[in-house]
Amino acid sequence: MTYKTWQDKLNEACREYNIAAPVFQIVSDRRGGRTAWSSRVNVYGAVHSARFWYDGKNLNNAKEDAAEVALMWLNGGQSSSSAASSPATSRGSW
């Protein structure tokens, strides 16, 4: 059984919709003596943020979180991070 990450699934969905590949950005926030890390991903002109902040050793988890949020939006679900229409919701009935 092959395990696919949220990032893999998001890349596949972008290929299926014939849109540009997702672009990830790592963001940080200094909190006291430590730094918290998170991620954002730009898909189809909409930026989706990870829901949580992570320790620096878990940066991939931040990207997975953002990818999951973006994939739900891309497939027609709701995302609080963007009001833009996804390819799934902007398809008309021809």
Query: What is the full per-residue pLDDT of the chain (94 aa) written as tens digits?
Result: 788 999 999 999 999 999 999 999 999 999 999 999 999 999 999 999 999 999 999 999 999 999 999 999 999 876 545 556 667 666 543 3
Residues ≥6 apart with Cβ < 8 Å to 79 = 46, 48, 69, 70, 72, 73
Rounded to 5°, the CA angle 61-43-79 comes to 70
Pairwise CA distance, residues 87 & 67, whole Å? 16
The CA distance from 46 to 43, in Å, is 5
pTM here? Answer: 0.83
